[in-house]
């Protein structure tokens, strides 16, 4: 079995061939992921998008296998599913051992929050997102998986659109007055828990803290939150409640 040092050197070479010269910070993050979780770029377990590392669905499953995960259970939350509208919500539970209570994650998908490339497969996307979130909770992966935030193409399109739109001086969406005010308005209007919304936003944007999110990421989240709150507030509350276990840490 390769040592963490060998895996990192292999990852570093592969990353350089694939994405060119990388910053010291990005390489440091790669080294941390390699040493802690033995994730491999060559095996399709890691991707670099917009300067951030994302763990793929394959990477999470292989990590669970290496950690001898006892089992994964996933089932649809039928009261929040609408097959005709291609809207799905799944609940997944990861059991690290046969005696563990399990780590729960929820995932949703509908035509508005998935790539056009997977329209018609929203049910599978929702299940994958739920499993990914449960796995991340179980094994302490703080970086969002790429399946949860959409395809690489969707990320690229967002980046292109952001270049056409004037940005605030700090370049950070969380600090943008208009975006922040709209988010606060949504929280008041729909009587949402601000701390849970913040945890969901961090997860949605794939960052460790919301201040690391770009403007377009936060704008996308606010638009998505507003749409979901209007269409099905109960389903949104179910999603937010999945973050109750992390509420204290996020506060």
What pLDDT shows up at residue 60?
A: 92
Each residue's pLDDT tens digit, 96-155: 999 888 998 888 888 888 888 888 999 999 999 899 989 988 888 865 555 555 433 444
> What angle (nearest 5°) sits at the alpha carbon of residue 19, between those of residues 15 and 25?
70
**Under 8 Å CB-to-CB from 56, ≥6 apart: which residues?**
44, 45, 46, 47, 145, 146, 147
3-state secondary structure of 75: strand
pLDDT of the residue at 142:
66
Torsion sign, CA atoms 110, 115, 118, 119: positive
pLDDT at 143: 56
Q: For 193-206, b where at least 16 C-beta lie within 10 A, e where not — what string?
A: bebbbbbbbbbbbb
- What sign for the dihedral angle of Cα 39, 88, 232, 102? negative
**Rg of the chain (C-alpha set):** 18
pLDDT (tens digit per residue) in 150-181: 433 444 444 444 444 443 333 333 334 477 77
Whole-angstrom distance, CA of residue 229 vs CA of residue 207: 23
**What is the structure's pLDDT at 246?**
55
3-state secondary structure labels for all residues of 107-150 = EEECCCCCCHHHCCCHHHHHHHHHHHHHHHHHHCCCCCCHHHHC
pLDDT category at 2 given cuts 50, 70, 90 is low
3-state SS of 188-248 is HHCCCCHHHHHHHHHHHHCCCCHHHCCHHHHHHHHHHHHHHHHHCHHHHHHHHHCCHHHHH
At 171 the pLDDT is: 37
- The span from the CA of 77 to the CA of 241, in Å, is 14
The pLDDT of residue 151 is 38
- Confidence class for position 215, pLDDT limits 50, 70, 90: confident
Tens of pLDDT, residue by residue over 8-67, are: 999 999 999 999 999 998 999 899 888 888 999 999 899 888 788 888 889 999 999 999
* Mean pLDDT score, 200-204: 84
The predicted model gives 208-234 an average pLDDT of 81
User: If pLDDT is split at 50, 70 and 90, which confidence band does 218 have?
Assistant: confident
pLDDT at 1 over 70: no
Whole-number Å distance between alpha carbons of 179 and 159: 17
pLDDT score of 77: 92
């Amino acid at each position: 079995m390769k040592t963490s040092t060998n895996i990192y050197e292999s990852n570093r070479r592969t990353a350089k061939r694939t994405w060119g010269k990388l910053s010291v910070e990005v390489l440091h993050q790669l080294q941390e992921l390699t040493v802690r979780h033995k994730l491999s770029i060559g095996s399709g377990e890691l991707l670099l998008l917009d300067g951030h590392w994302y763990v793929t669905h394959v990477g999470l499953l292989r990590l669970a296998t290496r950690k001898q995960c006892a089992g994964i259970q996933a089932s649809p939350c039928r009261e929040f599913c609408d097959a005709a509208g291609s809207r799905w919500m799944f609940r997944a539970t990861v059991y690290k051992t046969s005696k563990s209570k399990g780590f729960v994650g929820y995932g949703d998908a509908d035509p508005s929050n998935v790539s056009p490339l997977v329209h018609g497969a929203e049910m599978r996307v929702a299940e994958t997102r739920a499993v990914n979130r449960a796995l991340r909770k179980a094994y302490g992966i703080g970086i969002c998986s790429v399946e949860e935030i959409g395809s690489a193409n969707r990320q690229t399109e967002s980046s292109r659109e952001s270049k056409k739109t004037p940005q605030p001086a700090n370049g950070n969406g969380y600090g943008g007055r208009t975006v922040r005010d709209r988010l606060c308005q949504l929280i008041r209007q729909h009587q949402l828990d601000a701390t849970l919304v913040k945890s969901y936003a961090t997860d949605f944007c794939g960052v460790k803290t919301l201040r690391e999110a770009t403007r377009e990421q936060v704008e996308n989240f606010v638009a998505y939150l507003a749409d979901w709150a209007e269409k099905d507030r109960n389903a949104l509350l179910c999603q937010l409640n999945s973050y109750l276990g992390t509420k204290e840490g996020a506060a």
